[in-house]
Structure formats: structure tokens, C-alpha cells
Amino acid sequence: EIALLAESGTWVTHQPRSNMKNGVGVAPVEEMLRAGVRVCMGTDGFPHAMWTEWKFAYLLQKVWHRDPQRMSALDVIRMGVENNARLAEMCFPGETFGKLVPGAHADLIFVDYHPHTPLTEQNLPWHLVFGFEEGMVTTTIVAGKVLMRDRHLTSLDEHAITQEALSHSSRVWERYSQLSTSRI
């Protein structure tokens, strides 16, 4: 199957926490990458905490293979940054993602990160995988517009959105329960 994925140019997204939750096994990510399969990172419905997903992707291969040398942090970064950007470019022809160049989407985040060891070009992937947490993001800029500054949303009322979501949640869960019971 891996050869067919590579031959067909199929994109694959890896969601390790979802696979773990659903008990569907461990994707052979390293084998797919070696074969030329374009593997990206995703969350598949979990909280959209990509750095946490990266940690799981990194650690899951090691525990699955019982080998601490498996799954490089650099491969995780390539999947989550480079491959995700290339897939986005395919979905939005003519657009540039994942690069700081003129004409590219001006999507940036500022991270309040204070490393406990020196930060170098050689160890950057491991700092990203192990050191970064979503709560460290202080500012978000999308298409040149500041959407969050100093951890405060600038264009949305988070409290009002939360209240509205809560007002719908009991009906959503009721409907979900009806659907899941009717399929058993």
C-alpha cells in the first residue's frame, strides 16, 4: 500500500492522538516518508494543538517500535511545516504558504519561549517538538491582521462565543446520543 500511495502522489495526514483514541493502530510514518509519500500532520477533531500532536507523532513511533532512535524531530517538523504548507498550496493554487517571502501569506505567531538549553540551528527541531506549547503563543497575525495581541482576541468576543456554544451543547449531545444509539 505504501508503494501505491507514493506512486499515486497521494497526500496522507497523520493524527497520532486520534489513532490512539480510536485504537486503529500506528501509521508506518517513517516507512511512508522513506518511500516518498507526502505525509502531513493533522488533529482529526482533537483540540487543534499541533505542537502537542507533533510530540505524540515523535514519541509514538519510538514506543511502537521499542526503539528510541526512531522518528526524528526533523521529520516531524518537515511533516507539520513543509508538507502541510505544500498541501495548502495545492489546495489554493497560486498562493504561497510556510515561507517568509514577499507575496506569501503573512500568517505569523509570536511565542513566549525561554529555553533551558542553548537554542541552535542544529537543535531547533527538538526545541520545537519538546519546548513549545500552545499556551506560549502571545500574538497571532493572519494575512497581516493582528487577531490576538498579548493573548487577547482583537476581533472576536470569546465570552459571547463560549456562551452561545454552551447554549447549543446539550442539544448537540442529545442528537449525538440518538445517532450513536440507533447504530448499535
Per-position pLDDT tens, the chain of length 184: 999 999 999 999 999 999 999 999 999 999 999 999 999 999 887 778 999 999 999 999 999 999 999 999 999 999 999 999 999 999 999 999 888 888 888 789 999 999 999 999 999 999 999 999 999 999 999 888 999 999 999 999 999 999 999 999 999 999 988 888 776 5
- Global pTM reads 0.82
As a whole number of angstroms, the distance between CA 82 and CA 40 comes to 8
